[in-house]
């Protein structure tokens, strides 16, 4: 697997980011003037109540949406200045996404799901196949490589989603409630995988409602009403809620 061992400096940065959704009856301010720096190799968890703007912010950080005001930069590149096609190309090559509900392509096998982002980014079939083999082994998925997603457990599907997110060796992995749809044991397995990737230097920004999951991060930011509250949590205050690692 590729490594991101270089540390220091912000790989992801936003300044004064605002996003408002306008409906027929009213406007909803989802993100209200957020500033954020994420260092290379850092794991940041964002917590807060439902509807506070966590997922909206994550979409902005990944270029899935653009702000009404302010700027989001990935490695110094302002995403708002890119066309939709350019943002899509950047997402394929430099960002990895892990979602709560997996978002796998159900008529592709596990192996094909993992290869897909590499092929879309222009990798050769041989290179995609080699990288797929590395990821299947790392995620303990080799035995189900030819299975369809519907044949897998929720935990297995999320491991496939993580492998797919890592396929192009992204600069940043964005994870939206990656354990929110899993039972306790599957969530533990997914968290162990994320820890392993972080230890290898992967930058991660994760939205979660679970303090046991947030405690694995380097930094935990609290969000309410579209803003960071300033009442950020030290991860050591959450560690007692995290199950001990197996010996």
pLDDT at position 195 over 50: yes
Q: Give me the CATH number covering residue 233.
A: 3.40.50.300
What pLDDT, in 10s, does the model give residues 101-149?
Answer: 888 999 999 999 999 999 998 999 999 999 999 999 988 899 999 999 9
Tally the domains of the chain.
Answer: 1
Measure the CA–CA gap between 101 and 133, rounded to whole angstroms.
24
Per-residue pLDDT, averaged over 78-90, amounts to 90
Per-residue pLDDT, averaged over 188-202, amounts to 90
Residue 51 lies in a domain: yes
Residue 30 lies in a domain: no
Residue 22 lies in a domain: no
Is the four-CA dihedral 12, 15, 16, 20 of positive or negative sign? Answer: negative
Residue 88 lies in a domain: yes
Give phi and psi for 167, each to the nearest 5: -55, -40
Residue 121 lies in a domain: yes
Residue span of the structural domain in which 175 resides: 42-59+84-241
Which DSSP symbol is given to 63? T
| Residue (of 99, 108, 68) closest to 181 by Cα position | 99
| Count of alpha carbons within 13 angstroms of residue 196, beta-carbon side | 16
Residue 101 lies in a domain: yes
What pLDDT, in 10s, does the model give residues 3-38?
Answer: 444 445 799 999 999 999 887 778 888 999 999 999
Q: Pairing mode, if any, of strands 219-224 and 172-176?
A: unpaired
- Written as six digits, the tokens of 9 are 């400096």
Residue 20 lies in a domain: no
Residue 246: pLDDT band with limits 50, 70, 90? very low
Residue 199 lies in a domain: yes
């Amino acid at each position: 697997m590729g490594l991101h061992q270089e540390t220091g400096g912000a790989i992801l940065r936003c300044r004064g980011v605002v996003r408002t959704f306008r409906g027929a009856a009213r406007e909803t301010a989802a993100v209200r003037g957020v500033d954020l720096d994420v260092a290379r190799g850092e794991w940041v968890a964002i917590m807060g109540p439902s509807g506070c703007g966590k997922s909206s912010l994550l979409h902005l950080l990944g270029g899935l949406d653009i702000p009404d005001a302010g700027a989001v930069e990935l490695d110094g590149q302002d995403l708002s200045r890119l066309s939709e096609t350019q943002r899509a190309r950047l997402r394929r090559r430099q960002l990895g996404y892990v979602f709560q509900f997996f978002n796998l392509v159900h008529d592709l096998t596990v192996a094909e799901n993992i290869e897909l982002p590499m092929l879309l980014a222009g990798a050769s079939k041989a290179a995609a196949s080699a990288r797929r083999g590395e990821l299947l082994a790392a995620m303990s998925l080799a035995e189900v490589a030819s299975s369809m997603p519907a044949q897998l457990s929720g935990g297995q599907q999320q491991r496939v989603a993580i492998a797919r997110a890592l396929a192009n060796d992204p600069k940043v992995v964005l994870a939206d409630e990656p354990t929110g749809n899993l039972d306790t044991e599957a969530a533990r397995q997914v968290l162990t995988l994320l820890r392993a990737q972080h230890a290898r230097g992967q930058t991660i920004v994760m939205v979660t409602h679970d303090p046991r999951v947030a405690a694995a991060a380097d930094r935990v930011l609290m969000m309410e009403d579209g803003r960071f509250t300033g009442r950020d949590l030290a991860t050591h205050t959450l560690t007692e809620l995290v199950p001990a690692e197996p010996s």
